[in-house]
C-alpha cells in the first residue's frame, strides 16, 4: 500500500525552493525554447524533447522551425516533408502526431493553440505531461506535472533510500512546493537541477521510482529498423525486396513495415512502398 508523503511545513518548503532557485541562478541552462512564449514553438519543443537528448533537439529545433515557422505552415505541409525534416530525431510517430495536431488546430481551433489542458488532451498524441507543460510554459499557469528530471529531484530530496516511490506521492509534493507566482521558471529550475544531480551524486535517484524502466538498446532494435526504412523511402519509393536488402534481410523487416503502414507513416501503391 502506497504511503502518503508528509505534509511539508512552510519553512521546509521555503528551504527547498531557495536551494532550487539558487542553483538555477548560477547554473540554469540557456535553451532556445525558453526564449519564447509562442505556444506553437513550445509545443514543437515539447514533442521533440520526448525520449530525445537535449543536444539533439538543439540541432533540429531551429531547422524545423525554419521550414515550419507556424502551425499553418506545418498543417499544410505534406507528411513526407515533415518526416524528412524529422530525420535524426527517432520515434517518427511523434512527427506524424505533431503534423496531425497542427491540422486539428487549424480545423478545430481556428489556428490557435488551446489554452487549457482539457482541450490540448484531445489533440493527436498529446498526453497529460505535454498538455500541462505547454500550458505552463506558454501561459505561465501553475499546472502540476512530472517528468524524469523533476522526478529525480523529489526522490533525492524527500525520499531518502525508499524504494518503489510512486509518481502519485511525488505529485503531492510538487503541488505543495510549486512556485505559483512563477511556475514557468520554477519548472525550468527543477529540470535543470534534476539534470545536474546524476553528475554531482554519481547515481540516479530515479532507480528508486516504481515507474522506472531502463530504455531498451537501440542497436538491433525494431526502432533502428524502422528508422532505416524511413530513411530509405525518404530517398525514393522502394520494393519489398529492395527494402529487405537495405535492412540486410533482417527477419523483422516485414514486421517493421507492417507497423509503419498501420501508423500511416508509409503507404503501398503500384508495387512499391513510399512515405505517406
Instruction: Flag whether 3 is in a domain.
Output: no
Co-location of 53 and 131 in the same domain: yes
Final residue in a domain of this structure, among 184, 208, 232: 208
Quickly count helices (H) and strands (E) in the chain. Answer: 14, 2
Asked if 37 contacts 138 with a C-beta cutoff of 8 angstroms, the reply is yes
Co-location of 46 and 99 in the same domain: yes
Residue 139's alpha-carbon distances to 9, 146, 181, 197, 251, in angstroms, are: 29, 18, 12, 28, 48
Co-location of 150 and 188 in the same domain: yes
Q: Which residue range(s) make up the domain with 268?
A: 222-275
Instruction: Flag whether 2 is in a domain.
Output: no
Q: Cell numbers of 45, please?
A: 519543443
Instruction: Flag whether 231 is in a domain.
Output: yes
How many distinct structural domains can be found in the chain? 3
Tell me whether residue 269 is one of the annotated catalytic residues. Answer: no
Tens digit of each residue's pLDDT (9 = 90 or more) over 94-108: 999 999 999 999 999
Final residue in a domain of this structure, among 183, 208, 233: 208
Co-location of 24 and 147 in the same domain: yes
Among candidate residues 46, 108, 255, 269, the one labeled active-site is 46
Tens digit of each residue's pLDDT (9 = 90 or more) over 125-150: 899 999 999 999 999 999 999 999 99
Instruction: Flag whether 213 is in a domain.
Output: no
Co-location of 21 and 60 in the same domain: no
CATH of the domain at 271: 1.10.10
Ranges under pLDDT 70 in the chain: 1-5, 214-218, 220
Co-location of 234 and 188 in the same domain: no
Amino acid at each position: 500500500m502506497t504511503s502518503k508523503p508528509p505534509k511539508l511545513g512552510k519553512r521546509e518548503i521555503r528551504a527547498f525552493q531557495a536551494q532550487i532557485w539558487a542553483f538555477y541562478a548560477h547554473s540554469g541552462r540557456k535553451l532556445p525554447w525558453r526564449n519564447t512564449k509562442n505556444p506553437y514553438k513550445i509545443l514543437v519543443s515539447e514533442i521533440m524533447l520526448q525520449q530525445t537528448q537535449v543536444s539533439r533537439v538543439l540541432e533540429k529545433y531551429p531547422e524545423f522551425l525554419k521550414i515550419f515557422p507556424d502551425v499553418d505552415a506545418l498543417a499544410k505541409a505534406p507528411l513526407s516533408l515533415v518526416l524528412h525534416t524529422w530525420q535524426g530525431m527517432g520515434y517518427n510517430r511523434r512527427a506524424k502526431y505533431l503534423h496531425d495536431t497542427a491540422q486539428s488546430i487549424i480545423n478545430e481551433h481556428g489556428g490557435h493553440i488551446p489554452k487549457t489542458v482539457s482541450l490540448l488532451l484531445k489533440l493527436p498524441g498529446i498526453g497529460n505531461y505535454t498538455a500541462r507543460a505547454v500550458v505552463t510554459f506558454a501561459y505561465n499557469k501553475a499546472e502540476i506535472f512530472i517528468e524524469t528530471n523533476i522526478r529525480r529531484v523529489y526522490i533525492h530530496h524527500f525520499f531518502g533510500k525508499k524504494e518503489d516511490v510512486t509518481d502519485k506521492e511525488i505529485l503531492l509534493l510538487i503541488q505543495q512546493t510549486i512556485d505559483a507566482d512563477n511556475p514557468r521558471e520554477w519548472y525550468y529550475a527543477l529540470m535543470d537541477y534534476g539534470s545536474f544531480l546524476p553528475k554531482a551524486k554519481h547515481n540516479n535517484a530515479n532507480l528508486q521510482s516504481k515507474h522506472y524502466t531502463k530504455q531498451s538498446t537501440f542497436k538491433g532494435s525494431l526502432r533502428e529498423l524502422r528508422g532505416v526504412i524511413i530513411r530509405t523511402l525518404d530517398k525514393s519509393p522502394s520494393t519489398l525486396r529492395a527494402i529487405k536488402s537495405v535492412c540486410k534481410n533482417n527477419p523483422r523487416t516485414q514486421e517493421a513495415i507492417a507497423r509503419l503502414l498501420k501508423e500511416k507513416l508509409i503507404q503501398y501503391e503500384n508495387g512499391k512502398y513510399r512515405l505517406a
